[in-house]
Structure 1
Amino acid sequence: MLPPVMAGVDGSAESLAAAEWAAREAARRSRPLRLVNAWNQQPHKGAGLSAAAAQRYLARRALRQGEDRIRRTCPGVKVDAEQVEGPATGALLHAAEQAELLVLGSRGLSGFTGFVVGSVALGVVARATLPVVLVRAGEEASDEHLPADDGCPSTRTGYQDVVLGLDLGDPCDEVIEFAFEAARLRGARLHVVHAWQEPSPLGLGPGEIGLVNGPEQADEWLGFLDAVIKVWRDKYPEVEVVETVAEGRARSVLVRAATGASLLVVGRRTTERAAGPRTGPVTHAAVQHVGCPVAVVPHE
């Protein structure tokens, strides 16, 4: 059986939007969809059988809501559902071990105020070994597409850009390939973005790009970006690519670039630090402030 696209559902508006997005992604990838609800049998000390029974009922109801929504909006997608027991973060990660992609909801407020990401979503993103996509409440199928000629939302038009935030100091193949494949599946343009800042004179080494002036630095970075992406252009000749290097903080550059995108792709290093698993400041800023779905791709 092909690895499924998996979505965590809990009955909330954001999780149902995530389930619907996951169904569309499953259709694009020709994969089945699996809906998962994680629940604790004893979430509070002293909780009795009645509390556990109530949780089981709520879990079943959340899964039914998700299945009903998928069958209504994406009737061609094969969908199944399961309940998993345990603390939500660990249970979702365990359930997703055989999945191709995990999709979770975030309490999106708007494109301006961004995500209010819950502890479960952040915990999963920080520890996952597979790509995780965060979807805000209110995400619609038409949000992925260009507006119609009259300016109205449509699902009959082409897709908005897929945006890849690329760190040229650590250009990881897993992240780049995910973005190219996402663009290919959508027939979308891929917008590759790198942010750079003037280095401190104390941090310069021999031959560093920072030894030249601003405009020349931008040209150097663009040449480096083009060289990194060339092999992927050759591998995905059907994907139109546009490259941008912008001076500024990476988190600010990415938030601006992702405005109106169908998907933002960023990476997360899996190497644990002394403080434990973390998302990293740029990825954390992206999932907090970007309005479109955000794919976080782990890499070593």
Structure 2
Amino acid sequence: MLPPVVVGVDGSAESLAAAQWAAREAVRRERPLRLVHAWPWHPSRDGKEIDNAAQRHLAGRVLREAEDRVCAAYPGVHVSGEQADGPAIAALLKAADEADLLVLGSRGLSGFTGFLVASVALGVVAGASRPVVLVRGGEEASDEHLPADDGTASTSTGYRDVVLGVDVGEPCDEVIEFAFEAARLRNARLRAVHAWHPPGPLGLGAGDIALVDDPRRPDEWLGFLKAVLQVWRDKYPEVEVLETVAQDKPTNVLVRAATGASLLVVGHRLAERPIGPRTGPTTHAAIHHVDCPVAVVPHA
């Protein structure tokens, strides 16, 4: 059986929006959908079975509500539910290991204040070995699509751009491939963006590969980006690609580029850290301030 699209549900409006997004993604990927209830619960310390039964009943009700909503909106999706015992982060990470991708809801406010990402979501993103998509509360199917000719919301128009953040100095195949595949599944344009900075006052330093000649520098960075993506253009000839470079901080470039997008794809380097798994500053900022779904793809 193909690995499923897995979504964590806890009964909140945010997780229900994530479940709906996950169902649409399961349709696009032709995968089953698995709902996982990983809201932390603990067996009664004094051993009262009635308390334990109440907790399991609540978990079952959360799963049934999410399943009913998904099945009503997307009757063709094969849906299953699972109660995951134990700490939420550990349970979701275990579910992610068996998934094509994991989807989580985030408490979204506005484009100015961004995501209020709970410690559970951040912990899962930091430690997951499979891609994790964060979906803000209130996300609708029409948000993925371009507006109709009269400006109204629509689900029958084409998809908005998929945006990919690329570090041309250290490009990652897993991240790039995820973005191209996401664009292919949506028949959407892929907009690849790279943020560059000028060399220091003493000229080119370690890791600097741009020309010293200021007027030519943006064109060279654009050439680097096009070269990085050429092999993927050849592999996905049906995907329209727009490369963009900008002289700015990566977080600023990503937030601007993701405005009005259907999906933002960023990478997360899996590395052992003395204080445990963490997201890098660019990924961390993106998942806090971007208001479209954000796919965080782990890589070595």
Normalised by the length of structure 2, the TM-score is: 0.95
User: What corresponds to 1:299 in structure 2?
Assistant: 299
Partner of 1:9: 9
Instruction: Report the AA paired with residue 216 of structure 1.
Output: R
Identity %, equivalent residues: 71
Indicate how the Cα distance of structure 1 residues 258 and 45 shifts in structure 2: closer, same or farther if over 3 A, else same: farther
Name the structure 2 match of 1:32: 32
For residues 121-142 of structure 1, give each alpha carbon's deviation from its aligned partner in whole angstroms, at most 9, with x where no partner exists: 0000000000000000000000
2-11 or 268-277, which moves further after superposition?
268-277
Distance 1:208 1:23 in 2: 43
More deviation, 60-69/19-28: 60-69
Alpha-carbon deviation of 1:199? 3.0
Q: Which amino acid aligns with 1:220?
A: E
Q: CA deviation at 1:39?
A: 4.1
Q: Please give the alpha-carbon distance, in whole angstroms, between the structure 2 residues aligned to 1:164 and 1:93.
A: 24
Alignment of 1:130-145 (within 5 A): 130-145=130-145
Residue of structure 1 equivalent to 2:128: 128
Per the alignment, residue 90 of structure 2 pairs with 90
- Distance in 2 (CA, whole Å) between partners of 1:122 and 1:140 is 23
Residues paired across the two proteins, number: 300
2:220 matched to 1:220?
Answer: yes
Q: Secondary structure at the match of 1:201?
A: coil
CA contact (8 A) 1:112 1:291 kept: no
2:179 aligned partner: 179
Q: Does 1:290 align with 2:285?
A: no
Shift of 1:53: 3.1
Distance in 2, matches of 1:292 and 1:197, equals 26
* Contact 1:209-1:217 within 8 A present in 2 as well: no
| Residue type at the aligned position of 1:146 | L
In 2, Cα distance between the equivalents of 1:286 and 1:109?
14
Over the residues paired in the alignment, what is the CA RMSD in angstroms?
1.8
Alignment partner, residue 267 of structure 1: 267
CA distance in 2, matches of 1:47, 1:226: 63
Using the alignment, how far apart are the partners of 1:154 and 1:25 within structure 2? 17
Change (3 A) 1:199 1:146: same
What is the CA deviation profile of residues 182-227 of structure 1, one whole-angstrom value per residue up to 9, with x for unaligned ones?
0000000000000011232358338944452433211111000010
Please name the residue that 1:254 is paired with.
Answer: 254
- Displacement, 1:169? 1.6
Give the 3 Å change call, closer, same or farther, for CA 255–44 of structure 1 in structure 2: farther
Letter in 2 for 1:124: V
SS of 1:11's equivalent in the other structure is: coil
**Letter of the aligned partner of 2:284 in structure 1?**
H
User: Which amino acid in the other structure matches residue 4 of structure 2?
Assistant: P
TM-score (norm. length: structure 1): 0.95
- Is contact 2:89-2:120 (8 Å) kept? yes
Q: Which amino acid aligns with 1:139?
A: E
Match of 1:23 in 2: 23
Q: 1:67 to 1:200 in 2, by over 3 A?
A: same
